[in-house]
Amino acid sequence: MYVLPMAGFMELIKHEVMKDQGYQQGQLDHTIFFKQSNDRRMTILIVYVDDIILTRDNTGEVERLKKVLATEFEVKDLGQMRYFLGIEVARSRKGISISQRKYVLDLLTETCMLGCKPRNIPIKARKGTESDGKPWIERDISD
């Protein structure tokens, strides 16, 4: 979904549209809004400048929210997400895959390194958890 300029993140907050619709704002990332229904279905809205990603396991809530946003702002529904901030998104019956192939190719082209040869890096690839079993993404800096 695309919100025309002047109606991005700051406008959503200023108008308190999301709060009025029962959404909570993320504490660590203020550009994320989420709502959990009584049946534990989740709807998540992510705002980046004037672009919005709306995802859910509650289709009815998404359609309702789209209508509310359209009454408050000039919006354009771009359908299923295919590309966002350098990330390509592809859906299949097996699930969702994401890739930054286009972004990397554009970067290599821009820096005249498209024909360069890949090299190994001298560090270990990071696994999903630390030795204590805690996911590294959730670790506090002080840990």
Please, which pLDDT band fits residue 127 given cuts at 50, 70 and 90?
low
pLDDT attached to residue 106? 92
Tell me what the mean pLDDT of segment 77-99 comes to.
Answer: 88
* More confident: 47 or 3: 47
In the chain, domain spans: 2-79, 80-116
Sign of CA dihedral 5, 14, 77, 103: positive
pLDDT at 19: 85
Cross-sheet strand order for the sheet of 83-84: 83-84, 87-92, 95-99
pLDDT of residue 30: 82
